[in-house]
C-alpha cells in the first residue's frame, strides 16, 4: 500500500498544474498477487531436493490436475506462457487461411495467427460488453475461413452459444482466448470447457499467476494428446519423435507458484470485488465517467477496473490519462488503438476501421485503472479524485 501524498479537491491540486504528484512511486495497473510465501518456499525446497526442474516434472503434473479439477475439464496442458499456448492450440487444430477474431483484444491474439501464416480477420464488438459481436462474425465469413477465436474480454464470457452456432453452420472450428477469464463462469459453468479448447494465461499481472505461464484446457482427448506432443518437440518417450513440435513446457518453479496461488485465489477475487465496489462508489456522480460492471449472476475475478469516458464528458480520455500519469498513477488505454490499427495489421488492412465502428469508438473511451490485493481504499479514493478534478 502507498499512502497518497495529498488531497485532491480541485484542478489546482493536480500535478499537471504544478502540484506535487499524489504518489511518490508508480502505481501500476497490475501488481503480482503473491500467495503464502511459507507454502511457496516449502515447495521450492521440494523442487530443489528432487533436482527435477523441468520436462513435465511432478509439480507440473500436479498443477495440471488441480487446474483441470478446478475448471471441471478433462485435460489441462500447462505451457511456458499463454501466447505459446495459443500458437500451439491453433496449430493443433490445423487452422489455416483466415480466422475471425475481435480487434478489441491484446495483440497476441492476432499475432498467434499471423506468426503462423494465418490471416486474422477482425470482427466488430458489442459496445456494451466489449466482446465480439456474432452478427459481425457472420459478415466476415468467407470460403477461406477455418476458425473463430472468441475472447472472454475482461473475464466476461464471449457470446458462446451464438459463436458455436455459427461455427457449426459453416463447418469451422471454434476456440476461445480465455486469458482474462480464469475463474469466470458462463451459465454457472466454469470457463474452460467451451469450444474445441480454451487458452489461459497465467502471466504475473493476472489475478492468478504462475510467475509466467499459460495452458490449453479441453475435453477432447485426441486434441489434448496432440498438444502434449507439440509442447515437447513431438517426443513420445525417449528418442521417439512422432509429431512436429516446439518447446512450450512449463517449468517446476512456475507450477509451484501456481499451486500456491490457487490456494488463495478466492481471497484475491474477493479483494478485487471489494475494490471494484469501492471504485463504483468513488466514481459515482462524476459526469461523463462510466464504470464497466460485471453483474452478479456469473463469477468474475473483477481483475480489470475498466472506465469509459463518455462522448459528452468535458475532457477527453487522453487528457485524463495524462493527468493520472502525472500523479504516478499509470493507468492504461487498453487496447488502444485496436489491433487492426497496429503494425503490421494497419498496413495489411488499411480500411478495416470501416467495418469496426464500435471498436473504434470503444478504443477512444477506455481507461483501465489500478487494482489488486495491495491497493487500499485511500488509493482508490485518490485515483477517483484525480479523475473527478479533471472532469469538474
Cis peptide preceding 174, ω within 30 of 0:
no
Query: How far apart (Å, rounded) are the C-alpha atoms in residues 268 and 344?
Result: 37
Q: Check residue 1 and give its pLDDT.
A: 60
DSSP of 67-133, one letter per residue?
Answer: HHHHHT-SEEEEES-HHHHHHHHHHHTT--SEEEEESSS-THHHHHHHTTTPEEEEE-B-TTT-SBP
| DSSP 8-class letter at 392 | -
Query: How far apart (Å, rounded) are the C-alpha atoms in residues 361 and 353?
Result: 10
Q: Check residue 296 and give its pLDDT.
A: 82
What is residue 325's three-state secondary structure? Answer: helix
Residue 185 contacts residue 158 (beta carbons within 8 Å)? no
What is the widest separation between alpha-carbon atoms in the chain? 70
Cα–Cα nearest to 306, from 238, 245, 234, 363: 363
Residue 368 sits at φ, ψ, to 5 deg, of -105, 125
Q: Check residue 50 and give its pLDDT.
A: 96
Q: Check residue 373 and give its pLDDT.
A: 93
| DSSP 8-class letter at 211 | S
Q: Give the chain's end-to-end CA distance (angstroms, integer).
A: 28
Q: Check residue 30 and give its pLDDT.
A: 85
Kindly report the pTM of this predicted structure.
0.95
Residue 239 contacts residue 44 (beta carbons within 8 Å)? no
Q: Check residue 20 and give its pLDDT.
A: 96
Q: Which CA distances in Å does 118 have to 71, 98, 379? A: 30, 6, 44
Mean pLDDT of successive 10-residue stretches along the chain, which has 392 residues: 83 96 94 93 97 96 98 98 98 98 98 97 98 98 98 98 98 98 97 98 96 98 98 92 95 98 97 97 96 92 96 94 98 96 94 96 97 94 97 90
Residue 336: CB partners within 8 Å, gap ≥ 6?
Answer: 363, 364, 366
Amino acid at each position: 500500500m502507498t499512502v497518497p501524498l495529498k488531497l485532491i479537491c480541485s484542478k489546482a491540486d493536480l500535478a499537471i498544474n504544478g502540484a506535487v504528484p499524489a504518489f511518490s512511486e508508480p502505481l501500476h495497473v497490475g501488481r503480482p498477487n503473491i500467495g503464502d510465501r511459507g507454502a511457496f518456499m516449502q515447495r521450492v525446497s521440494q523442487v530443489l531436493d528432487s533436482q527435477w526442474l523441468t520436462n513435465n516434472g511432478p509439480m507440473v503434473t500436479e498443477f495440471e490436475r488441480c487446474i483441470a479439477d478446478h475448471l471441471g475439464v478433462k485435460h489441462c496442458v500447462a505451457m511456458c506462457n499463454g501466447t505459446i499456448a495459443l500458437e500451439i492450440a491453433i496449430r493443433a487444430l490445423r487452422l489455416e487461411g483466415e480466422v475471425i477474431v475481435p480487434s478489441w483484444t491484446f495483440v497476441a491474439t492476432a499475432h498467434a495467427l499471423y506468426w503462423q501464416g494465418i490471416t486474422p480477420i477482425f470482427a466488430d464488438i458489442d459496445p456494451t460488453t466489449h466482446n465480439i459481436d456474432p452478427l459481425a462474425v457472420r459478415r466476415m465469413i468467407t470460403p477461406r475461413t477455418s476458425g473463430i477465436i472468441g475472447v472472454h474480454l475482461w473475464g466476461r464470457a464471449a457470446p458462446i452459444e451464438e459463436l458455436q452456432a455459427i461455427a457449426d453452420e459453416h463447418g469451422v472450428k471454434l476456440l476461445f482466448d480465455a486469458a482474462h477469464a480464469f475463474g469466470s463462469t458462463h451459465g454457472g459453468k466454469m470457463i474452460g470447457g467451451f469450444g474445441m479448447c480454451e487458452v489461459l494465461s497465467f502471466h504475473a499481472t493476472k489475478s492468478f499467476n504462475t510467475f509466467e505461464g499459460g495452458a490449453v484446457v479441453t475435453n477432447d482427448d485426441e486434441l489434448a494428446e496432440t498438444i502434449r506432443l507439440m509442447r515437447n518437440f513431438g517426443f513420445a518417450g525417449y528418442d521417439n519423435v512422432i509429431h512436429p513440435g516446439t518447446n512450450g513446457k512449463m517449468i517446476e518453479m512456475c507450477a509451484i507458484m501456481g499451486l500456491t496461488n490457487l490456494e488463495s485465489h478466492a481471497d484475491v477475487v474477493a479483494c478485487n470485488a471489494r475494490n471494484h465496489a469501492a471504485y463504483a462508489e468513488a466514481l459515482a456522480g462524476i459526469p461523463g465517467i462510466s464504470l464497466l460492471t460485471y453483474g452478479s449472476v456469473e463469477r468474475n475475478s473483477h481483475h480489470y477496473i475498466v472506465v469509459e469516458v463518455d462522448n459528452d464528458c468535458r475532457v477527453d480520455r487522453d487528457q485524463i490519462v495524462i493527468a493520472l500519469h502525472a500523479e504516478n498513477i499509470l493507468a492504461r488505454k487498453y487496447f488502444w488503438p485496436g489491433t487492426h490499427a497496429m503494425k503490421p495489421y494497419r498496413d495489411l488492412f488499411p480500411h478495416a476501421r470501416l467495418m469496426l465502428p464500435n471498436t473504434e469508438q470503444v478504443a477512444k473511451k477506455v481507461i483501465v485503472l489500478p487494482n489488486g490485493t495491495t491497493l487500499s481504499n485511500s488509493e482508490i479514493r485518490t485515483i477517483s479524485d484525480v479523475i473527478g478534478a479533471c472532469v469538474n
